[in-house]
Amino acid sequence: MRLGYARASIDEIADQMGATKGRVYHYYRSKADILMDIHRHVLEMMFDAVQAERDAAGNPVEALRAMARRHALIVMENLAFTRVTLLSTTDLFVNEKQQDFVSDIAKIRRNYEMLFVATLERGMETGVFRQTDAKLLAKPLLGSLNWTTMWYIDREQTTDEGRAKIADIIVDYILEGVTAR
């Protein structure tokens, strides 16, 4: 994970897992297959967690705050995996099986984005969010959250409380941008 997709070899992946290269190849035919599993796992984890936050919240502001906060925390708590998932390109996938995967991932990403779009629309309908194109607004909102993968450094001394403080700062920034005035 720390080397990134292009620089990591199956040997290095096996070493990090404490496994043999043969064991890795028993489960995966290529690095692309490993990347596909990482993508699916991270996106499904994020979708399930964020959907649960949305469903538990009482109003659109609470929902958006909880959803964005959960997204930010997942990114920070699983930095290596989320960095690979959010920054890798689907152009790496070329065979038919991989192209099917790309279609599946695109669907998961669209559905994930729609969780935010629906929450924004609900807030616009109730007058708590500014009136604008919710689909367009969701893109920089998620972009702000995903950009955490570029600047956040996970240090041993970083606590859950420290990550929560960072998440709250990001979420406050986002809510300032979407709240009706």
Structural domain count of the chain: 1
104 contacts 40 by C-beta, under 8 angstroms: yes
Structural domain that includes position 174: 29-178
First vs last Cα of the chain: how many Å apart? 43
- In whole angstroms, give the CA distance from residue 144 to residue 166: 13
Convert the pLDDT of each residue in 30-82 to its tens digit.
887 888 888 889 999 999 999 999 999 999 999 999 999 999 999 999 998 89
Q: Return the biggest CA–CA distance within the chain.
A: 60
Residue 7 lies in a domain: no
Assess whether pLDDT exceeds 70 at residue 2: no
- In whole angstroms, give the CA distance from residue 76 to residue 132: 30
Convert the pLDDT of each residue in 118-151 to its tens digit.
999 999 999 999 999 999 999 999 999 999 999 9
Residue 137 lies in a domain: yes
Residue 24 lies in a domain: no
Residue 22 lies in a domain: no
* 48, 71, 115 from 42: Cα distances, Å: 10, 11, 16
What's 88's domain CATH number?
1.10.357.10
pTM, full prediction = 0.87
Going by pLDDT thresholds of 50, 70 and 90, the confidence category of residue 1 is: low
